Chain A
Amino acid sequence: MLSIKDINVYYGNIHALKNVSLEVERGEIVTLIGGNGAGKTTTLRTISGLLRSKTGDILFEEESIAQIPAPAIVKKGISQVPEGRRIFANLSVLENLEMGAYLRKDRQEIQASLENVFRRFPRLKERIRQRAGTLSGGEQQMLAMGRALMSKPKLLLLDEPSMGLAPILVQEIFAIIKEINQAGTTILLVEQNAHMALSIAHRAYVLETGRVVLSGYAEELVKSDEVRKAYLGG
């Protein structure tokens, strides 16, 4: 579904991604794990068109998206939940969700998506009129995910959904990610919490200073010595 081939991304002089290649198949959860500065977020931002690669190509459903602008990429069915949630703090929960459907015109189906989001996140329905900035961290993460789902994405890019959340909430969020995937959305998940990420992912890539150093099935990586030592605490 998504295929990244040899991309090189720079921030000024800094070579942030070095010949990164990865594949995401339809229906999978693929996770990118790695420490700080490994290039996880950079990869996501390049896919969603916020950054450009100097070389290589990004194919989404056999079509190159490496050169098209970010809004057009969202239209093609890739939706990103940015790091640190990034909700519209002064708008209500409902307005935030409506924003997610910004590129859709079909009112009836938007309504259906909205109900779908509320079924998945009942807590958001309870707070429908509340200002989004007053939600708790976990609720804001749910809102950010619900908002991304409102665009009916084929591929959902999640950037560190566990960031700043209590362990119990992290479990809840990951359970929901799994459900969303089972309902038919392909997911590319970037995480620092390698343990949680590997527990729900089908496959994983390990990034280190801008390079893919390991990749494989999640259950195999969990057992691999290198990953255990570096990311899972022995």
Chain B
Amino acid sequence: MKAMRLRNNLIIAVCLAVLYFGIAYAMKQRMLSSFHQVNLYLMGINIIMAVSLNLIVGFTGQLALGHAGFMAIGAYVSAVMTLKLGQPFLLAVLVGSLATGVVGVLIGLPPLRLRGDYLAIATLGFGEIIRGLLININYVGGAAGMNGIPKLTTWTWLFIFTVATVLLIKNFINSSHGRACIAIRENEIAADAMGINTTFYKVLAFSIGAFFAGLAGALYAHYFFLIQPQTFTILKSFDALVMVVFGGLGSLTGSIIAAVAITVVNAALQSLGALRMVIYALLLVVVMVFRPQGLMGTKEFTLRTLLRQKGGSGLHDYRKQVD
């Protein structure tokens, strides 16, 4: 069992290494056009956005529509750090993410007492407030935004941060904290009755999600070197939500697949101009009609299912004793 898990982890590590070095090589040889590169970076950022939002919406069951607001905070704080204060990239990314996480706690505390639709509206409003504030702060360029942010998000950093985000959130979900979040999604009253501090876990999930959205924002700012308040509109929040729903609420691998797929579709339809949004929307309608639970539902795509290996998660060892 343990050996098998080790072997699977090894296979995944090798695959990731091949992916990393393959693309690094291709970039060095200038085999990727700048169009492809932009979309590659977007893919990584979208994965971070989708996975972090899935923690809030898919696993904890709190419909939040302000993810772009968090992304904006991460982007602006980190850009101020590098551009205005001359701090190193890593510190800027860290401070940007942490600041977003803290804002996540502050913002999360009052509306997480709300449920369902009410929370959705409150977070939607929050996203707009952030945007409105940014437009009116001259220090960060007002409506014109910040220009000339150093292009420090390299392929290596993007890769590391994306993989780290997925791993950290996966471990969180598989921990007892993650179980508490899932219990809240399934039935908040029952979770209360089990002795789970529901408010604490909702705020925790919310702020962890915000932290990583801030990370995505920081990476975004340091790749596209221009950030403007109108980059982070409600549409951006919906983009992330679409990926989460498309991939399956409560499936991390689903979110990753959806983030990749939607980025590719968006890029492929670019040449179609105005027709693009029609086809894109139609695609979403079709998926929702035929697979309302999303591509993956709540299931995860694992090597174990792929290789048809017997056995289950870590819980299984414990389950065996039961049988």
- Residues in chain A within 8 A of chain B (CB atoms): 48, 50, 69-71, 73-75, 79-82, 86-91, 94-95, 98-100, 102-103, 107, 111, 114-115, 118, 125, 128, 144, 147-148, 151
Contacts and interface: CB of A to CB of B under 8 A. Distances in A.
Contacts of B315: 95, 98
Given A94-B319, A102-B179, A81 B193 contact: yes
Which among A90, A99, A111, A147 has the highest number of chain B CB atoms within 10 Å?
Answer: A99
B250 to A, nearest CB: 8
27 contacts: A69-B197, A71-B195, A74-B193, A74-B195, A81-B193, A82-B190, A82-B193, A86-B190, A87-B187, A88-B183, A88-B187, A90-B298, A91-B182, A91-B183, A95-B315, A98-B179, A99-B183, A99-B194, A102-B179, A102-B195, A103-B194, A111-B318, A111-B321, A114-B322, A128-B323, A147-B194, A151-B194
Nearest to A128: B322
A73 B195 CA distance: 8
Given A88-B182, A102-B180, 10 more contacts: A50-B192, A70-B192, A71-B197, A89-B187, A90-B186, A94-B319, A99-B194, A100-B194, A147-B194, A151-B194
Interface in B193-221: 193-197
B106 interface: no
Contacts of B195: 70-71, 73-75, 102-103, 151
B61 to A, nearest CB: 10
Contacts of A79: 193
A131 to B, nearest CB: 11
Which among B180, B190, B197, B319 has the highest number of chain A CB atoms within 10 Å?
Answer: B190
A48 B193 contact: yes
B187 A102 contact: no
Nearest to A104: B195
B90 interface: no
Contacts of B189: 50, 82, 86
A148 B196 CA distance: 13
The 5 closest A-B pairs by CB, nearest first: A74-B195, A88-B186, A86-B190, A103-B195, A71-B195
A148 B193 contact: yes
Given A75-B195, A82-B193, A94-B319, A102 B186 contact: no
A13 B139 CA distance: 49
Which among A90, A94, A144, A151 has the highest number of chain B CB atoms within 10 Å?
Answer: A90
Contacts of B192: 50, 70-71
Nearest to B186: A88
Contacts of B196: 71, 102
B309 interface: no
A66 to B, nearest CB: 17
Contacts of B321: 111
A102 B201 CA distance: 14
A103 to B, nearest CB: 4
Nearest to B197: A71
